[in-house]
Amino acid sequence: MAIREFQDQDGTRWTVWDTVPVSTVGLTGKYSRGWLAFDSGTERCRLAPIPDDWADLPAERLVLLLRLAHADTPGDTKLTSLENERRVGERRHQERRLQDRRSNPPTHKPA
């Protein structure tokens, strides 16, 4: 799973990652095979299906994908309380991974 950060045209920082569900219970249509999750800390949206090679796109293209994600309507999925709990857990997990990366940059030991 890839995770990226970028800034939109308004200066808002976004984190984006791909989510592929283990179970499709409560998911309908295009979300059943996964989506990109965009999170600014105050706003969250999804884009499905996951675009090919999205993790390698420049920030400007991620902003365009974000605009498409905003156009997605919440009525595209049937969310259960279990799904909401899973999303909260997913977000916390991503935040911890990102914090770990920032706190513990890779070090290279001489051979």
pLDDT in tens, the chain (111 residues): 789 999 999 999 999 999 998 888 877 788 888 999 999 988 999 999 999 999 999 999 999 999 999 765 555 445 555 666 677 778 778 888 888 877 876 666 665
Output the pLDDT for position 1: 73
Residue 25 CB coordination number (10 Å): 12
**C-alpha closest to that of 46 among 76, 6, 84:** 76
Asked, for residue 82, whether it belongs to a domain, the answer is yes
The domain in which residue 46 lies consists of: 3-103
Asked, for residue 109, whether it belongs to a domain, the answer is no
User: Domain tally for the chain?
Assistant: 1
Output the pLDDT for position 76: 45
Taking the alpha carbons at both ends of the chain, their separation in whole angstroms is 30
For the question of whether the overall pTM of this predicted structure is more than 0.85, the answer is no
Asked, for residue 111, whether it belongs to a domain, the answer is no
Asked, for residue 108, whether it belongs to a domain, the answer is no
